A and B are shown apart, each in its own frame.
Chain A
Amino acid sequence: GAVVSQHPSRVICKSGTSVKIECRSLDFQATTMFWYRQFPKQSLMLMATSNEGSKATYEQGVEKDKFLINHASLTLSTLTVTSAHPEDSSFYICSASGSKRLLGNEQFFGPGTRLTVL
């Protein structure tokens, strides 16, 4: 199948610091990557969509200066949470879509990153 990894799986940081989360497609080229945020016991909320080599498209209400997304290659996208605060604590999940397709447009999900801001 299509494998998507995320690193780190868990991170704890102090308030005010920046945290970078990596999302990699290991065995296919990901032309599009998605970043989601999931609060406890809630559904996934799409934060942004990024296409390789282009600026990310952010969903309404998501601060692009707060959540910096870079998709510089076909296998890597990064999400940087800048000046993190406790309310940014959440489970962040990425997904990728691209050359590996069972169907037309399915997304393959990473295992998620648990961010805790103290």
Chain B
Amino acid sequence: GEDVEQSLFLSVREGDSSVINCTYTDSSSTYLYWYKQEPGAGLQLLTYIFSNMDMKQDQRLTVLLNKKDKHLSLRIADTQTGDSAIYFCAETGSSGTYKYIFGTGTRLKVLA
């Protein structure tokens, strides 16, 4: 079945880099996404990557995709206290619909 796993917690110091990892099972996904959720709020799309790409960089964000291992990561450079939030990876399933399969979420805490 389809399952997307993430580590639950990550704590880093302000200014350091954060790396959030995600493993997925559906190799037919066309896009993979990273969303940010702040307390009591909806989801904000941070970035995405096509399945035929290995890496994508967008300002402080770098996404790495290893299709062989079905591993996705999000690196946040120069992490700030405002980056503290829950981060979800998501893949589109193989059903051909618009359905997302969300990861379990990683709670990032940035220490000042």
Contact = CB atoms under 8 A, between A and B. Distances in A.
What is the predominant secondary structure among interface residues of chain A facing chain B? strand
Given A93-B42, A112-B40, A114-B40, A107 B31 contact: no
Interface of B: 30-31, 33, 35, 40-45, 48, 88, 92, 97-100, 102-105, 107
Interface in A76-118: 91, 93, 95, 97, 103-112, 114
B108 to A, nearest CB: 13
What is the predominant secondary structure among interface residues of chain B facing chain A? strand
Contacts of B102: 43-44
A54 interface: no
A45 to B, nearest CB: 8
Interface string A35-71: 0000001111010010000000000000000000000
Q: Which 10 A-B pairs have the closest CB atoms?
A: A109-B43, A111-B42, A109-B42, A105-B98, A97-B98, A112-B42, A43-B102, A44-B102, A43-B105, A43-B104
